[in-house]
Chain A
Amino acid sequence: MNKAIGRTVVAGAGLSGIRSALDLAETGYKVLLIDTSDHIGGLLCQLDHQFPTSTCGYCRMLPMFDRDRSSQHCLRKGLVHENIDILLSTELISVEGEPGDLTVTLKQTPSLIDPDLCTGCGECETVCPVFVNDAFNEGLTKRKAIYLPSPQSFANAYTIDYAACTRCGECEKICPTGAVKFIEQDRETFKILVVDDEKIVRDSMKEWLKEEGFSVSTADSGQTALDLMGSQSFNMMLTDIKMPGMDGVALLTKAKQINEDLCVIMMTAYAEVDSAVGAMKQGALDYLTKPFDPDVLISMVVKIYHEFEIAEARVEKVDALILSGGTQFFRPELGKNSYGYGVLPGVITGLEFERLISGTGPGLDPGSGRLLHPQTGKPVRKMAWIQCVGSRDVHSGASFCSSVCCMISIKEAILAKEKFGRDLETTIFYMDMRTIGKTFDGYRLTAQEEKGVRFVRARIHSLSQDSQHADKGLHARYVDLGGIVHEEDFDLVVLATGQRPNQQMADLAAKNSIGTNAWGFIETQPFSMTRTSRAGILSGGSLSGLKDISESVTCSSAAALGACKVMHAAGKRRRPESDGEIPVDLARETPRILTVLCRCGSDFSKKLDVEVLEAGLARIPEIESLEIMDNLCTEEGWTTLIEMIEKKMPNRLVLGSCLSCSHKQKIKQLETSTGLASNLIETMDMVSVLKRYPGSHIREATQGIERELKILISKSRFKNPVPMERVASNQAALVIGGGIAGITSALSIADCGYHVDLIEKGESIGGNLLWMDKTVDGLDIQAYLDECVKRLESHEQITIHKQTRVASTAQRPGEFATVLQHEDKGHQTLLHGVTILATGGNQAPLEPAVGDSQYNVFTQKEFEMAIQDQTIHPEQLNSVVMIQCSGTRDERRNYCSRICCIRALKNALFLKEKNSDTQVYILYRDMMSYGFFEDYYTRAKTLGVIFFQYDLENKPVTEFTDGHCLVKTHDLLLDMPVEIEADCVIHATGILPDLPEALADQYGAALDGFHFFKEADSKFRPVDSMNYRVFSCGLSLKPCTIEEAVSSAEAAAIRAVRVLAHERLVSGKTVATTRTATCSLCEMCVDTCPYGARFVDSLEEKIVIDPAACQGCGVCAAVCPSGSAVLEGLGSQQMLDAIDMALS
């Protein structure tokens, strides 16, 4: 039986693509990760700060065990994993076939720069004559046509912007390593047809394009164009829209019938942009707004030429496809643009603001560190954020909420305050503050109360500027809740622009019959956030609608689970684990260290006195020799190095060069070709060391290099290759909780081929779904639950234990031993490798003060159940009041439960449907109808549901008289008290988690301040605990809808499968051990270990370590006074020696 290894294409290498790819790669499947851009990392490369920590935590997504299979550095710098192949500048063109047997066609634009030769020296950039807007900095700065894709990227290889490049060839001439190679292009075979009724337009376009080397024909009408197309074939057509007779859109349709592959670009006047956008939906590739600059035309044509003609198509056979293209942002300049974006100086988007204040961005004054106005260069004193730009706005075609902008703006305002001082005034203008996560409300309060961010509930209609007094800034006019008009000026206004579908993915979907929703986003199947309309094709991350980092990561893990199930069902194999050969023990060999420095051509030789360096290192006996090279990056240089190692046979190597020769892949190469273990090779980035001595004397630079070298030498001489340890790992799972999250995670793990024990404390499986009827979308919940339970009960890999609880558990490396207690049958011990805590949650009970048993006062759940058992007849209700945030989002339970507003809208719509005369009132603080749920809010308003907003100071009260409830509230809009007589009052009391602290504690998990499961990292590891074998999902994790619970359960499942897939788990190269002889068993290391990697073996009386769990952080070594906790490869002697060397 020689089955193929499972392989998945992940299209999109941003946050979500990386998450899916890593989950699959860690499980042991192969991944082809592609991206249309020239660097991986996506949007997060442009963002330095995430809330709530105001830092980045991208690297927390990296593998935790067997981590030497992958790079272990910032994901903005790049990613290397043995099971992941990465293709950049690559587009997914089509996908055919069935799950387990998909054929995908990709198109890759080749680079004119050989990344293996490019050293990132930047000479080419100096000579390049072309300046264009730097897209990475959102156009805030200029860059050359030859540039570094991202400032953090570790490969440091330059790339060429074809659209901007004039092919002058200066870069090719100056490149010291010959990395730039312009290939001969045969542009004459690229035939372009220009259609316009104006002769002058036709002729000038023909002239411009001919100059670039293209073949150009012209036509003065649609009919002429069609005639021409009958006689010859064209690659591209540029057509005017408004033409007498057949207009451009009609021509487009007909032309596409003749030649489906024709690239069509529409040309249109500013006023007709809408029809151009419409044409794009019918297959046009792009459009140009008249009058246009020749440069704009040419760059667009050249770009398309490269993408379609130069790009190389490749066909790949894979099992599954994950689409992770993310979303695009709304472009205000394409609409009515009442905020004058692109016109008024100082109006920027949120993303531009993030670039402005980034460490690699252009916005800070290096002297004062103050925030400077991007156009005027003056310090900024007053800033405003305008929410819902291109969201919750029917006029811009967006009847949805973009879900994440509220939190992004709060973060940006806090960042502005933190970075530029409290004197900077920050105001957020919003409609509802959608703080829909469990910690978000607290974050908003911090912004408001601690940081001094001002929140104003108002919609600014437009911005203006007095051209005579530009220094007064941007003028805003808004009406406050009380109806009073305010006028205020701001230096900088940030537009919180909403989401739009990813155009490239939408095109792909249209051509490959992948369903999209009404707004053009990829649509997923009922109760799933990842399954598209085509089996085997999954949607990850924000592609199906904007999500914050944690939701994106969760959804992408869920997508990986989907792919994993496909591969398992197709009978595909996982990649075998490497045997991990036992390295040679060097403890008794004298260190012989070969030290090699590359001077990078002539570049560093001006800064380095080799004789002084040789003299300085001469006294170190372990140095085999010091070799100076000038061309390590060339093939010749690399071969010289390999020969040198083979000849001199050193047992350690210290290598000083630029990054292009010393990154992980190169070192791996060196290991393969010379047999010298990669952890015996120490590298020094010469460029960054020399940067510390700008313009200084050659002596200081030489001393600096000498010191760095000596430190590396001392580190090196104590090194001994440590065999990577393996720990036998149990391959069964325990799922605690039989709600929808528990059911889904159990089914998901079982579908990947591993045994699951599911325990439920109650008598029946189903949890909260048991009392629910329909979702707001009208989906039948009972039917879904029945289907799930049926599958669960009949699955041969699943054992269900009802009326059962966890009595106790013990963990040892690779395994848990949990004692179960059945209500009647007594105890049973289970051995399992992972644990999923899906203990769920409940609706909070009604506070006694607000109810009266004689009246119809309900929680949402009670109301829905009363409808179901017909104790309430909706047709007979005259007036219903719903009170949101009842007993929540205040000092007692200060979090938003996320789902209550949607539930209220569902019930309101239900009541209106049953009896349109029923008066329904919703008393709310902020309507949290995030994402596409916004539509139900709009619908409720249309159907006459009345919304009153209240604030914390004036909570609604209910009085009970004469058979009626009288609800008293203070409406903010009217600024007056309101009294409503109601037959029925429904309180939204929010969610209470049901995860006992003692249970979580036994499994090494922790609870957060609200008693939900505490994530290892709320953003980047949203379903993990610090114990790498314990996960959570559903309501015990955080408040969520059914499909979000399913998504988190699938995410928890793939995170578990990652572990379960390995019979033996491999540790990293740096792990802690214990010197048992000197250990006093004080257990400080056990208490301190953040990863739960250390255990007391009470029989053997020693500390044992799960080497796969150990991350080599060294806290145990720091806390152990007797030096019995030791970090292999990073010992005290080594450290002391390095200090001595640095000081010598």
Chain B
Amino acid sequence: MMTKIEREDNSSAKGLQQFFKQLLEMQEIDALFLPVRLNASTSIMPSLVTDPAQLENAVPLSPSFPLNSARMVSRLSYKASGRKTAVLLRPCETRAFIELIKLKQGSRQELILIGMDCPKALTSSDYAAYAKQAPLADDAYIETVFSDNNDTLNGFEFSSACNTCEHPFPVNTDINILLHGVDLSDGMVVTAETEAGQQVLGRLNLPEATAPARREERIQQIKEGNSTANTAMIEDITDRTDSIVKLNAFFDRCINCYNCRNMCPVCYCKECVFNTDVFHHQPVQYHQWAEKKGSIKLPTDTTFYHLTRMAHMSHACVGCGQCSNACPSDINVFQLFKSVARLTQAAFEYSPGTDENESPPLSVFYEREFENTVGIAREE
């Protein structure tokens, strides 16, 4: 099903607001989860909205991406609430949420997942500067970011996670809002991807739309461009981190604040092992290490912490970039993670967030996998 979200007062932003308002007014939908501009502030934060009147502050498409909402949606859905919620997510947020569903941290049973072509994002520090200087109006932003020429924003570079993203289009959703390759002056296109989506969309009685003519072409262009950028980035970061010495140097500003972990959407543990006593050593141990080497840096487990996180989560990394975004020491954790994730995901032929039925690699065992690694391969 392919329908049209018409502009309101020549404004796409208002058109979208109207669309969400209609949704929330439906009897079947009890709440909406989407980015909302907080009162008297430039901050746009994910919010749970139940009053249609309050949707006038909703900003579905903006360069603000302060956190990956997957974990918030997990909080809303890990148990039944008796409410139906429509949830608007960026593609990387959806993928992270799908991973959380696999880990029993969320459920889509009471959700309508709404996806969208990714409106890209600035890093949080860049967004603060941009918002202070001369932010584009919401409509102008939409026009810009979904135009053919969207590499920079008023002189600001988009986040490197966005520039190297290979999946900036929605998957695994019930309803999709299409913006790339769409003639926005004629409204936006909205599609139903599942039966649940179809039921909701069907009731809105929106005018029918035709498939945007230039969409496929744009998707190809964006994918190719981002893919090239990704390869270059990975080459560069690999070159800077491919030995333990270089790796230690890469993390030499790290203060073990664990912000990267806290903001990682797939780091789902209730209590991280690094918050527990598992790696607490006896005082004498530190002395013994120091005595052996002459000196040791404290905390001792900085690189170990990052390696552990890669071991635990790199197979599920969706590349949203929030780890770098959260780093107070300005370490580009994301780039390293993505370069490692590419290898682990290739090793398990695993693509996080794309298929809800694909089990996490560590929870499945095949008799004939990694025969060389586990030493059962036979020479002939």
Whole-angstrom distance between the Cβ of B26 and the nearest chain A Cβ: 32
Is A1133 in contact with chain B by the CB < 8 A criterion?
Answer: yes
Per the bound structure, the CA–CA distance linking A1137 and B288 in Å amounts to 12
Per the bound structure, the CA–CA distance linking A1088 and B363 in Å amounts to 5
Is B297 in contact with chain A by the CB < 8 A criterion?
Answer: no
Is A139 in contact with chain B by the CB < 8 A criterion?
Answer: no
Chain A 71-113: CB-based contact to B (< 8 A → 1; otherwise 0):
0000000000000000000000000000000000000000000
Per the bound structure, the CA–CA distance linking A1087 and B361 in Å amounts to 11
Q: Which positions 1125-1143 of chain A face chain B at CB distance < 8 Å?
A: 1131-1133, 1136-1137, 1140
Is B244 in contact with chain A by the CB < 8 A criterion?
Answer: no
Q: B362 near A1119 (CB under 8 angstroms)?
A: yes
Per the bound structure, the CA–CA distance linking A621 and B283 in Å amounts to 13
Q: Which residues of A contact B269 (CB under 8 A)?
A: 1078, 1080, 1121-1122, 1124
On whether A1132 and B363 interact (CB within 8 A), knowing A421-B380, A1080-B268, A1082-B104, the answer reads no
- Complex interface: stretch among B47-55, B182-190, B198-206, B273-281: B273-281
Is B298 in contact with chain A by the CB < 8 A criterion?
Answer: no
Q: Which residues of B contact A1144 (CB under 8 A)?
A: 288, 292
Interface size class of A (residues with CB under 8 A): 20 to 34
Q: A621 near B284 (CB under 8 angstroms)?
A: yes
Q: Chain B CB within 10 Å — which of A1121, A1132, A1133 has the most?
A: A1121
Chain B 58-77: CB-based contact to A (< 8 A → 1; otherwise 0):
00000000000000000000
Select B272's contact among A422, A1090, A1122, A1136, beta carbons within 8 Å: A1122
On whether A1122 and B273 interact (CB within 8 A), knowing A1082-B268, A1088-B362, A1136-B279, the answer reads yes
Interface size class of B (residues with CB under 8 A): 20 to 34
Q: Which positions 329-380 of chain B face chain A at CB distance < 8 Å?
A: 359-360, 362-365, 378-380
Q: B271 near A1083 (CB under 8 angstroms)?
A: no
Closest residue on chain A to residue B270 by CB atoms: A1080
Per the bound structure, the CA–CA distance linking A1083 and B362 in Å amounts to 12
Select A1122's contact among B105, B271, B279, beta carbons within 8 Å: B271
Per the bound structure, the CA–CA distance linking A207 and B97 in Å amounts to 94
Q: Which residues of B contact A621 (CB under 8 A)?
A: 284
Q: B268 near A1132 (CB under 8 angstroms)?
A: no
Q: Which residues of B contact A515 (CB under 8 A)?
A: none
Is A917 in contact with chain B by the CB < 8 A criterion?
Answer: no
Q: Which positions 155-194 of chain B face chain A at CB distance < 8 Å?
A: none
Is B312 in contact with chain A by the CB < 8 A criterion?
Answer: yes
Q: Which residues of A contact B131 (CB under 8 A)?
A: none
Whole-angstrom distance between the Cβ of A942 and the nearest chain B Cβ: 46
Select B278's contact among A421, A1118, A1132, A1140, beta carbons within 8 Å: A1132
Per the bound structure, the CA–CA distance linking A1124 and B270 in Å amounts to 10
Whole-angstrom distance between the Cβ of B110 and the nearest chain A Cβ: 18
Q: Which residues of B contact A54 (CB under 8 A)?
A: 378
Q: Which residues of B contact A1084 (CB under 8 A)?
A: 103, 360, 362-363
Per the bound structure, the CA–CA distance linking A779 and B180 in Å amounts to 79
Q: A1082 near B276 (CB under 8 angstroms)?
A: no
Is A851 in contact with chain B by the CB < 8 A criterion?
Answer: no
Q: B271 near A1087 (CB under 8 angstroms)?
A: no
Is B209 in contact with chain A by the CB < 8 A criterion?
Answer: no
Per the bound structure, the CA–CA distance linking A1082 and B101 in Å amounts to 9
Whole-angstrom distance between the Cβ of A90 and the nearest chain B Cβ: 39
Q: A1119 near B271 (CB under 8 angstroms)?
A: no
Is B313 in contact with chain A by the CB < 8 A criterion?
Answer: yes
Closest residue on chain A to residue B362 by CB atoms: A1119
Q: Which positions 753-805 of chain A face chain B at CB distance < 8 Å?
A: none
Q: A1078 near B270 (CB under 8 angstroms)?
A: yes
Whole-angstrom distance between the Cβ of A1127 and the nearest chain B Cβ: 13
Chain B 283-324: CB-based contact to A (< 8 A → 1; otherwise 0):
011001100100000000000000000001100000000000
Per the bound structure, the CA–CA distance linking A528 and B281 in Å amounts to 63
Whole-angstrom distance between the Cβ of A703 and the nearest chain B Cβ: 16
Q: Which residues of B contact A1121 (CB under 8 A)?
A: 267, 269, 273, 312-313
Whole-angstrom distance between the Cβ of B286 and the nearest chain A Cβ: 11
Q: Which positions 1073-1094 of chain A face chain B at CB distance < 8 Å?
A: 1077-1084, 1087-1088, 1090
Q: A418 near B278 (CB under 8 angstroms)?
A: no
On whether A422 and B380 interact (CB within 8 A), knowing A1077-B271, A1121-B273, the answer reads yes
Q: Which positions 411-431 of chain A face chain B at CB distance < 8 Å?
A: 417-418, 421-422
Q: A1140 near B313 (CB under 8 angstroms)?
A: no
On whether A1122 and B362 interact (CB within 8 A), knowing A1081-B104, A1133-B278, the answer reads no
Per the bound structure, the CA–CA distance linking A1083 and B359 in Å amounts to 12
Whole-angstrom distance between the Cβ of A621 and the nearest chain B Cβ: 7
Per the bound structure, the CA–CA distance linking A1132 and B277 in Å amounts to 10
Select B380's contact among A418, A1082, A1083, A1118, beta carbons within 8 Å: A418
Q: Which positions 244-280 of chain B face chain A at CB distance < 8 Å?
A: 267-273, 276, 278-280
Q: Which residues of B contact A120 (CB under 8 A)?
A: none
Is A723 in contact with chain B by the CB < 8 A criterion?
Answer: no
Q: Chain B CB within 10 Å — which of A1077, A1123, A1137 has the most?
A: A1123
Per the bound structure, the CA–CA distance linking A422 and B380 in Å amounts to 6
Q: B363 near A1119 (CB under 8 angstroms)?
A: yes
Q: Which residues of A contact B284 (CB under 8 A)?
A: 621
Q: Which residues of A contact B104 (CB under 8 A)?
A: 1081-1083
Closest residue on chain B to residue A1085 by CB atoms: B363
Per the bound structure, the CA–CA distance linking A54 and B371 in Å amounts to 14
Select A1140's contact among B279, B285, B359, beta carbons within 8 Å: B285
Whole-angstrom distance between the Cβ of B224 and the nearest chain A Cβ: 35
Closest residue on chain A to residue B267 by CB atoms: A1121
On whether A1122 and B313 interact (CB within 8 A), knowing A1082-B104, A1084-B103, the answer reads no
Whole-angstrom distance between the Cβ of B294 and the nearest chain A Cβ: 15
Q: Which residues of B contact A1140 (CB under 8 A)?
A: 285, 288-289
Q: A1087 near B276 (CB under 8 angstroms)?
A: no
Per the bound structure, the CA–CA distance linking A1088 and B379 in Å amounts to 30
Q: B279 near A1132 (CB under 8 angstroms)?
A: yes
Select B103's contact among A418, A1080, A1090, A1124, beta carbons within 8 Å: A1080
Q: A1123 near B273 (CB under 8 angstroms)?
A: yes
Closest residue on chain B to residue A452 by CB atoms: B380
Per the bound structure, the CA–CA distance linking A1081 and B106 in Å amounts to 11
Select B276's contact among A1078, A1080, A1119, A1137, beta carbons within 8 Å: A1078
Closest residue on chain B to residue A1075 by CB atoms: B276
Closest residue on chain B to residue A621 by CB atoms: B284
Whole-angstrom distance between the Cβ of B346 and the nearest chain A Cβ: 20
Closest residue on chain B to residue A1118 by CB atoms: B362
Per the bound structure, the CA–CA distance linking A292 and B271 in Å amounts to 81
Per the bound structure, the CA–CA distance linking A1144 and B285 in Å amounts to 11
Per the bound structure, the CA–CA distance linking A54 and B378 in Å amounts to 10
Per the bound structure, the CA–CA distance linking A669 and B288 in Å amounts to 37
Whole-angstrom distance between the Cβ of A1027 and the nearest chain B Cβ: 16
Q: Chain A CB within 10 Å — which of B269, B272, B279 has the most?
A: B269
Q: Chain B CB within 10 Å — which of A421, A1082, A1124 has the most?
A: A1082
Q: Which residues of B contact A1077 (CB under 8 A)?
A: 271
> Known contacts A422-B380, A1132-B278; can you find 9 more A-B pairs with CB under 8 A?
A451-B380, A1078-B271, A1080-B103, A1082-B104, A1083-B104, A1084-B103, A1088-B362, A1121-B312, A1140-B289
29 intermolecular pairs with C-beta atoms under 8 Å apart:
A417-B380, A422-B380, A451-B380, A621-B284, A1078-B270, A1078-B273, A1078-B276, A1080-B103, A1080-B105, A1080-B269, A1081-B104, A1082-B103, A1082-B104, A1083-B103, A1083-B104, A1084-B103, A1088-B362, A1088-B365, A1119-B362, A1121-B269, A1121-B312, A1122-B269, A1122-B270, A1124-B269, A1132-B279, A1133-B279, A1136-B281, A1140-B288, A1140-B289
For the complex of A and B, the 9 pairs showing the least CB-CB separation, nearest first, are A1122-B269, A1078-B271, A1082-B103, A1121-B312, A1123-B273, A1087-B363, A1080-B270, A1119-B362, A1123-B278
Interface, chain A (partner B; CB < 8 A): 54, 417-418, 421-422, 451, 621, 1077-1084, 1087-1088, 1090, 1118-1119, 1121-1124, 1131-1133, 1136-1137, 1140, 1144
Interface, chain B (partner A; CB < 8 A): 103-105, 267-273, 276, 278-281, 284-285, 288-289, 292, 312-313, 359-360, 362-365, 378-380
